[in-house]
Structure 1
């Protein structure tokens, strides 16, 4: 009987909001760099919230990549484990996806189906208020170190990743890949990045 733990590696966040896309970019890069054993699922969780609950419930080990506001210097990578993960996910909400994922963890725990191993690999964002923007350099530079940390945890769970010797299957459409996404971005003059503060602020 195969007793290998079922592992879910989840990237969450929004590619369209600058550094909010850190988690998704990490899991995409992991899929491109490594071949993983069959008991490992790599998933772009986006901002799906409670729709992710069935996948979380099925996992024995859960590793999450995300942009998280820890109050650290921008671009800082921080690793959180175990019972601290739900607390850090809710420390300071940057967007609705974090509220939704905190609910996923709470629901799984209530049902007695919380993965026995929890890891959050988070990065302090530099910029969020850039609609259609990509990762800032300080955050992008943490993708490689984040993958190194993830690979260590996978090895510890008996699910060692191996360097790819073939073309990786894409987790997202080619147009959403980081290089294509950044290359297709209009100039500041051609696209609204921040909106008009008079209307965004309200009265």
Structure 2
């Protein structure tokens, strides 16, 4: 049976840099074409609802905003047994579990990924309710996407740049919650307030 890989972005797009993981997986999907053995998923703040997806993956790549104590916008990739050390300190939402609990549940059920990588970005602002990603974190998305592509290729999965990146209509997120649509709506809301 073929190995299966999951590319997962987690976070909350409504809390500024907390949305890094979702925005990174969104951009990965826009730029890269992958085989049917690779699932690309916006995990948002789904918490334990993600366990089934994690259980089905032999290999897992997670994008997330992680407070490593580094300069904002800095990417750090951790692998395998190091990953839970960095995913346990933050809850996905006030009412849900952290990703460490998702990994623990998958392990208890006997289906822990064999290879695991966390592509984490140091946030600048996690308190900006309704705001976009800050410039340093937005600037890290390209490197994060390239890192995920490199990991997939290293692990033997086909991952090739799309000839033409997907349009917002074809993207992972739709209904104006894709990054560009969301930021445009913030700009127009700010313009309305200024005219007031």
TM-score (norm 2): 0.89
Aligned residue number for residue 114 of structure 1: 112
Aligned residue number for residue 93 of structure 2: 96
Deviation of the 1:115 alpha carbon: 0.4
Aligned residue number for residue 128 of structure 1: 126
2: CA distance, partners of 1:123 / 1:94: 16
Aligned residue number for residue 177 of structure 2: 176
Deviations 1:13-61 (Å, cap 9, x if unpaired)?
0011100110000111011101101100000000000000001000000
Deviation of the 1:167 alpha carbon: 5.7
1: CA distance, partners of 2:20 / 2:12: 8
Deviation of the 1:111 alpha carbon: 1.8
2: CA distance, partners of 1:83 / 1:49: 20
Aligned residue number for residue 34 of structure 1: 32
Aligned residue number for residue 145 of structure 2: 147
The SS at the match of 2:3 is coil
Deviation of the 1:190 alpha carbon: 3.6
Larger of the two Rg values belongs to structure: 1
TM-score (norm 1): 0.87
1: CA distance, partners of 2:191 / 2:34: 40
| Aligned partner of 2:157 among 156, 159, 170 | 159
Would the aligned equivalents of 2:4 and 2:37 in 1 still touch at CA under 8 Å?
Answer: yes
| Cα distance change of structure 1 residues 155 and 80 upon mapping to structure 2, 3 Å threshold | same
What is the aligned-residue RMSD (CA, Å)?
1.9
Would the aligned equivalents of 1:80 and 1:119 in 2 still touch at CA under 8 Å?
Answer: yes
Deviations 1:58-97 (Å, cap 9, x if unpaired)?
000000000011111211110000011011111x326538
Deviation of the 1:101 alpha carbon: 1.6
Aligned residue number for residue 103 of structure 2: 105
Structure 1 residues 168-177 or 65-74, which shifts more?
168-177
Structure 1 unmatched ranges of 5 or more: 192-203
2: CA distance, partners of 1:188 / 1:123: 30
The SS at the match of 1:66 is strand
The SS at the match of 2:78 is strand
Would the aligned equivalents of 1:127 and 1:136 in 2 still touch at CA under 8 Å?
Answer: yes
| Aligned partner of 1:55 among 53, 56, 65 | 53
Check if 1:187 corresponds to 2:190.
yes
